[in-house]
Structures are given as C-alpha cells and as structure tokens.
Amino acid sequence: MKTVTFNELKDYRRTLLDVDRQVFDTVQTIIEDVRKNGDAAVKKYTKKFDTPNIDDLNLVVSRREIDDAIKYVESEMAEVFRCFLKAADNIEEFHYAQKEESWASSSRKNICGMLILPIERVGLYVPGWKGFYPSSAIMNIVPAKVAGVNELIISTPPDKEGKVNPLLLALADRLGADRIIKAGGAQAIAAMAFGTESVPNVYKITGPGNSYVTAAKRLVSGVVGIDSLAGPSEVVVFADNSANPEWVAIDLCAQAEHTDDTTSILISTSADFIAKVNAELDRIIPSLERSDIIKKSIETNSMAIVVDTIEDGFDIANRIAPEHIEIMLNYDEEKALNMVKNAGAIFLGHHTPVAVGDYYYGPNHVLPTNGTATFSSPLGVYDFVKRTSFMGVTSEYLKEHGKNIETMANFEGFSAHALSVKVRREV
C-alpha cells in the first residue's frame, strides 16, 4: 500500500462517476422498448440475458414457488436463514427509532402542520444469483415496511431455468414483500418505473445493481424517486499505535474484497504503524479466498496517509467523506465522534469492524459513496416517506394579515394571487 502525506492530499477531490456512453445508449433503448411494449419487452430481454432456454416466462413468482423455497431453505439452509432473520430483527428495531410523526400547531382557530405519509408503492431491485447478497435485500425491505409502505415490489433476475434464489424468496416473504418479479437489469427498472401488464408502476426504486441498473435508475429518476447512484465501496481506517496492525490489515482486506475498484485508506499518526500494517497485508492477502481482487484493489485504489496530528487525520477523512470510517485510536471516543463531519457510517473502537454494521447490529449498510456523504445519508425510514404540509386559516386571520400577502403578491407581479386574498378579506 503506497504511503502519502497529509500535505500531498490537502486538495483531495473525489471524481464524479463516469458514465459509459455505450451502456447509457443501450439502457435508453431498453427503457423505451419496455415503456412502449410492456411485458413483451421485459420477457424479450430476460430471455436474451438470463433465460435463453425458456420461451414464455411467467414474470410473477407464484405462491407455490415461494412455499417451495421456504421448505427448501428451512430444510437445507436453516442456520443461515435463522441468522438473517435475527439480523432483520435488529435492523427493524434500529429503524423504528427513525420514524417521524405528523404534527400540527394551532393558534386562534388557525392551524398548520406536516403530514408524514409513507410512499404507497416502492420497487426494490435485488441482484441475481451470482451477486445476490441477502443482507442488502433486508436493508432495503425493512425500512420500507417500518415506514408503512403499502406495497413492496421486488424485482430480481432469474437463472437459466427461470428460478429465483430460494433464500431471497423466503426472506422476502417473511419480511413482507407483496410481489416478486422475475426480471433483472435495465428492463426491470423500466418495468417498475412505467408499469407493465404484470408489474405495477412504483413511485420509488431502491436497491443496488450493475452499471446497467445504475444507468437505468439515472434515466428514470424524476419519473420515479431513486435511492442513490452508488459507486465502488470504500473505507477509511484511522488508527494509531494502540491498534492491532493485524486487525487493521484484515479490515482493509475486508473492504477490498468487494471489487477490484474498491478504495481502502489507512490514516495514521505513525509511519511505523503503517509499515506494520503493510507487512501484515503481505502476509494475509495470499491466504484469502478473494486474494486476486484484494491484491489489485490494494495496489491500484488504496493508500496509507501519515499525518502529524489527530486533527489532521480527521481533516483529511472529512475531505474524503468515506462510505465507512473505522476509528481505532487512543483517543476519547465521544470527541472523535464529534470530529467526523462527513461519513456514511462511523465504527468506533477496536472491536467494531465494518462487518458488524454490514450484517447485523442494526444501522443500514446502504450508504453514500464517492464522496456523497458530504450531502447525503444512509438509507432509512425517511427515504420511504414523503411530507405534505397543511394549513387552514380563518377570516379573522385574513383581515389581520391579508394586506401583507396582497402587497407581496403584487410586488412579484401576481395580481390574481393578491385578488384571491382581497376578495376574502373584504367580505
């Protein structure tokens, strides 16, 4: 892992996600086809990309398929199923604390306030067999259901035989999904955005996907809401000599094993500690299952930054605005927490690796990437609600304040606005 100094990174800037023009054009064609031709187009692309041997795929997963999947999972994957359901309980408990309540304020028979209303229908995209991560499905389903979403549509690519991952079916059914669609890629996003004969149109789409899914979400944004346009995963580990260099090295590898474009950054006040971590990386990487991916990620996208002070370390961490930051310092944790201004999720102390949050403890692991933690937040209950203001005033209120409203409206050139108040005020 290459080492740089704080001064070399004072002007650290994250580059914007590049858009592959060819991917973008392909996705645009697929979206238009689905918008115009509905199920027929979705089936056409599903056959082309996922189920070449099936001529007529039923896009909606049947109740029998779900029941068979549950029997299989409870028989063959009982321990895994139990762990994911326990994690879902923890995640649900955490997200209930995020719920907002509608409120109203009244004065002299005048009233105003805010209604907090769940989005009625949401679509969740779940990658297929090779890239299926049950934890990500849970992290999207749970806050949606806690928010009170009335109808949750899941879309996921089938395998060549037209089957959907049984663990996804079992989890989705247990957690309250209403309909599961056998479709992936841009065609799935288009189907959920515009609606087809089998797929109801949704009002927001969440969930991770490949570059085609991301491009599709970008294109339908505005027609529907989306959660985010996620980039490669990233972690900053801020550690000093009080940390265990082996643990730090493993945590860097854990992030690097996602994809070979993942960013893993070590910040330390000790060049000697960085050297120890590098030695541990050399020892550990060859023994890991995804060693080729980790090695490329560490060599091409990662770095160690030596800083003179704790304050400099937090300064550069805030400039990076990482998806995850682990803090392993001989330093007051509350003070450290208050020094982090930009991060998707913060992991405090020597015994809190990212994996605890990724899977189990409760906070959501769908986090802002690519520096967007400077302005955005983890996925949460608040992403599945909308806010509607309301007000009601009396004739007395208009007699007292109406002239002010008329003056403002006339100044901006909206005489009808002013008149709508005047005719009521003069009664």
CA–CA distance, 154 with 169 (Å, rounded to integer)? 10
Query: What residue has token string 């049950």?
Result: 134
Rounded to whole angstroms, the Cα distance separating 408 from 418 reads: 8
How far are the Cα atoms of 41, 70, 110, 281 from residue 184, in angstroms, in the given order?
Answer: 12, 22, 51, 37
State yes or no: is 289 an active-site residue: no
Which residues are CB-neighbours of 267 under 8 A, at least 6 positions away?
Answer: 236, 237, 238, 239, 304, 305, 307, 313, 316, 317
User: Residue 118 and residue 115: Cα distance in Å, rounded?
Assistant: 10
Distance of CA 233 to the CA centre of its chain: 11
Residue 403 backbone class (left: φ over 0; alpha: ψ -120 to 50; beta: rest): alpha
Q: Which three-class secondary structure state does DSSP give residue 130? A: coil
Asked if 298 contacts 252 with a C-beta cutoff of 8 angstroms, the reply is: yes
* Distance between CA atoms of residues 397 and 9, nearest Å: 58
Identify whether 323 is a catalytic site residue.
yes
Q: By C-alpha distance, which of 357, 352, 359, 363 is closest to 247?
A: 352
Radius of gyration for the alpha carbons in the chain, expressed in angstroms and rounded: 26
368: nearest Cα among 389, 383, 348: 383
Q: Which helix (H) or strand (E) holds 265?
A: strand 263-268
Which stretch of DSSP H or E encloses residue 298?
A: helix 291-301
Sole residue written with tokens 């001529």: 55
Catalytic: which of 323, 326, 365, 406?
323
The token duo for 398 is 């208009």
HSE, CB side, 13 Å, CA atoms: give it for residue 181.
29
- Measure the CA–CA gap between 347 and 367, rounded to whole angstroms: 13
Phi and psi at 236, nearest 5°, equal -115, 130
**Secondary element (H or E) of residue 136:** helix 134-147
**Candidate list 234, 257, 280, 324, residue with the active-site label:** 324
Measured between alpha carbons, how far is residue 241 from residues 124, 268, 335 in Å?
43, 8, 19
Instruction: Indicate the DSSP class of residue 371.
Output: T
Q: How far apart are CA 19 and CA 106, in angstroms?
A: 50
Report the catalytic residues. Answer: 323-324
